[in-house]
Amino acid sequence: MTQWIVDSNAFIHLGSIASEDAINCMNRTLSKTNSEIHVTSGVHVEVKTVRFRTWKGRPKVLDVLSPIINTSTIPEDEIRVLSRVIGENAAPQDVDISLMVLAARQHNLGREVILVSDDYKMTTTREKAGFSYPTCPPSTFIQRLSEVASESDSRKLRSLAKRIRAAEMRYAISRAGEYDIQGKLTWLIESLLSSKPSRRRPDTEGDGLDESLVIALRRHIDGERIKKSSMKRLGRLPQVCEPIKEIDDHLESLLGEDEDPGSMYDYGLELLQSVYERIGAGLSPLDDELCMIAHRTMAGPVSRFEAVLGLLAGSLGRNQASSLHMARALSQSTLSDDSKAESRTMHHLGLMALASNEQTRAASLFESAARQSSLTNDNKIKHIIAAGISHYLAGDGEASRAMIRSAAGLINEDKGAAIEPLLDLARSLMGIDRPWLALEIFDEALECAIESDNENEVDRIRNLLTLVNVAAVGEEDEERRGLRLVLDELNTIDVSTMEKHEAVNTEIEEAVGEHMLPIGETWMEWRDSSDLINAEDHLRILRVVDSDEGSLAITHHPDLGGLGIWLPGEAPELSSGLSISIRGTRIKLAEASSDLAESQNIRGVIAVEKPEELVVMIVPLGEGPSSLD
């Protein structure tokens, strides 16, 4: 897979010269070869007004190409450092330097990277900075695509490459009086004549590790039969690594588990420690190569287990432990070459950074998750939107809008396919107690569901929006209003869809209004909980308000709306995202005071006689109990 890091001038050339057919050929060839276009947010700023001059309606270049563009944001301090290395006078502009930093990052990760720019200074300063990735002008970029395109696409791409090359030559010659153009002209021609860059060698070359043994050991642990010759070469590893199976067995047993998250987390820690100790003792006398085979084999199960422990710790409000587990999961997933696991883990780390108000770090993690998703052709909509949100909250409006434009292009490709990623992101935002953000994302998902004529999804999202409206307390401030306007650009709807959307929102407002009415009956004597809530029902915890005397869990019931549950110190650990069931204990019910009703969007407060009897569950938002998210 080639990653083309493309500068602003290349997009300007495409806007001036490329036909619609040529762009379609380029898109098909990039997809066919699993190649990607990468830019930095500064490129979006420089070419935001550039249009395709010859196309009907003259659409903006970024609007058309956004589905195939991957955008990253480079911190200002990294740009300044490279600028000083190159020398202030010799250095290219900041946007160009950001592209050089991005190319160096990707190249250092072992990826095949080519920086595309007709600015010769990008090549000469790259060499001065000690970067070893190759560069080429836009014409050569298109020419190389033509060499791997289908026969029909190849002809059109060659024609486009020639026209861009002519424009590059004309521009270089027009500047002959300003600088010596001989070096640039030579570079333009040599880049065209040079052979295609060689592909990176497989990871197994030269590192002393036989990848076939890693595969054989994994298959053995999964219960498959492997060749006797492989078993012989593995020596004692099959016996030493046998405890790994306990991890996957335990993960399978968690499905449908009705145990409280605290007990599940504690047992998981004990199991992981036990597995590490037994395998570590068995590996200690073995040589380095066999130990590496074992670690590569363990990496997948351990990564999955650490991620689950991270989710459990997060559900208990133990954010520091959750971040540590997720970081370990990310580290292990790199050993197992599991790009999907890396993407999921970086997204969760980004959510935790967002919850901790580390907005810049969150944006970087979400962007990394999007890049990893590209490697496996996974849907990256939620990663890009989350990065856009993080940039906005960090005060970088331009980077935020660049991300949102990119996500909008992906959503527009298939509104139906965009629904689940949007819901997934919104549920995650609810889990980190960001209901105002979740509200906007759920609303975008509702628009997509209406446009897709998917009534089942419309009903599901209607119910979720009713819940979120209870969770979103307080007035909309300037930051929320500004972010809402940015997120509104994710999807554009026609008049018919807008009317249906308004009708659904009216139904939601009516349901929320009914849920804010006082409860008809209250009682101050202990009564069975079934008088209010059936044993099979559960309450979604929206947030927990702590005090010295205890905690008030703000919950939502699908029929009753917002309810507060007063819990003294002996109550189980609770946080947003969990659900609880009240059974086996009696309750009292009081009407919420006007101040509490207004500040927390609840209509009643429940006192629980035996808080320790509460059944705590992890339930995915909008689904039934007894599920592990």
pLDDT band at 51 (very low <50, low <70, confident <90, very high): very high
Residues 433 and 390 in one domain: yes
pLDDT band at 625 (very low <50, low <70, confident <90, very high): very low
Q: In total, how many domains does the chain have?
A: 4
CA distance 594 to 581: 26
Closest residue by Cα to residue 133 from 108, 162, 170, 169: 108
Residues 99 and 236 in one domain: no
Closest residue by Cα to residue 389 from 417, 357, 412: 357
Residues 431 and 528 in one domain: no
pLDDT band at 211 (very low <50, low <70, confident <90, very high): confident
Q: What is the mean pLDDT of residues 58-83?
A: 88
452 within a domain of the structure (yes/no): yes
43 within a domain of the structure (yes/no): yes
Q: What angle do CA 363, 1, 121 make, to 5 degrees?
A: 70
Chain mean pLDDT for the chain: 82
Residue 377 predicted with pLDDT over 70:
no
pLDDT band at 190 (very low <50, low <70, confident <90, very high): low
Determine the pLDDT at residue 628.
31
SS (HEC) of 179-211: CCCHHHHHHHHHHHHCCCCCCCCCCCCCCCCCH
User: What number of other Cβ atoms are within 10 A of residue 391's Cβ?
Assistant: 28
Residues 39 and 116 in one domain: yes
Residues 471 and 433 in one domain: yes
Contact 406, 384 (CB under 8 A): yes
pLDDT band at 115 (very low <50, low <70, confident <90, very high): very high
Which of 488, 515, 542 is the last residue before a domain boundary? 515
Q: What is the mean pLDDT of residues 255-283?
A: 81
pLDDT band at 359 (very low <50, low <70, confident <90, very high): very high
Contact 506, 460 (CB under 8 A): no
Which residues are within 8 A (CB) of 415 and not within 5 positions of it... i.e. 6 or more apart? Answer: 448, 451, 452, 491
Q: What is the mean pLDDT of residues 326-348?
A: 76
pLDDT band at 197 (very low <50, low <70, confident <90, very high): very low
For 37, which DSSP code?
E
Residue bearing the bigger pLDDT, 198 or 443: 443
418 within a domain of the structure (yes/no): yes
pLDDT band at 423 (very low <50, low <70, confident <90, very high): very high
Residues 301 and 427 in one domain: no
Q: What is the mean pLDDT of residues 454-458?
A: 92
CA distance 518 to 477: 28
Contact 531, 510 (CB under 8 A): no
Which of 259-268, 337-346, 509-518, 590-599 bottoms out in mean pLDDT, i.e. has the lowest?
337-346
pLDDT tens-digit map of 379-404? 889 999 999 999 999 999 989 999 99
pLDDT band at 454 (very low <50, low <70, confident <90, very high): very high
Q: What is the mean pLDDT of residues 390-419?
A: 92
Determine the pLDDT at residue 458.
93
434 within a domain of the structure (yes/no): yes
Which of 129-138, 248-257, 502-511 bottoms out in mean pLDDT, i.e. has the lowest?
248-257
Half-sphere exposure of 506 (CA within 13 A, CB side): 6
Q: What is the mean pLDDT of residues 588-602?
A: 86
Q: What is the mean pLDDT of residues 420-434?
A: 89
CA distance 406 to 413: 11
549 within a domain of the structure (yes/no): yes
- pLDDT above 90 covers a percentage of the chain that reads 27
CA distance 49 to 66: 14
Residues 74 and 100 in one domain: yes
Determine the pLDDT at residue 208.
45
- Angle between helix axes 261-283 and 244-253 (nearest 10 degrees) is 170
Which of 193, 218, 241 is the last residue before a domain boundary? 193
CATH number, domain of 545, equals 2.40.50
Residues 398 and 322 in one domain: no
Residues 88 and 221 in one domain: no
Residues 214 and 240 in one domain: yes
Within 316-433, residue ranges assigned H as helices are: 319-335, 339-355, 359-375, 381-393, 397-413, 415-431
pLDDT tens-digit map of 467-507? 888 778 777 778 888 999 999 999 988 898 899 999 998 99
CA 365 → CA 327, 388, 408, distances in Å?
Answer: 11, 12, 20
Determine the pLDDT at residue 201.
37
pTM over 0.85: no
- The SS3 call for residue 523 is strand
Range of the domain at 410: 375-515
Which of 291, 308, 337 is the last residue before a domain boundary? 337
Which residues are within 8 A (CB) of 267 and not within 5 positions of it... i.e. 6 or more apart? Answer: none
Which of 39-48, 220-229, 407-416, 530-539 bottoms out in mean pLDDT, i.e. has the lowest?
530-539
Determine the pLDDT at residue 128.
67
pLDDT band at 200 (very low <50, low <70, confident <90, very high): very low
Residues 259 and 400 in one domain: no
Q: What is the mean pLDDT of residues 147-171?
A: 85
Determine the pLDDT at residue 620.
56
Q: What is the mean pLDDT of residues 579-602?
A: 85
pLDDT band at 203 (very low <50, low <70, confident <90, very high): very low
For 593, which DSSP code?
P
Residues 18 and 87 in one domain: yes
627 within a domain of the structure (yes/no): no
CATH number, domain of 387, equals 1.25.40
Q: What is the mean pLDDT of residues 217-226?
A: 85
CA distance 153 to 28: 8
52 within a domain of the structure (yes/no): yes
Determine the pLDDT at residue 619.
60
Determine the pLDDT at residue 178.
56
625 within a domain of the structure (yes/no): no
Torsions phi, psi for 553 (to 5 deg): -85, 120
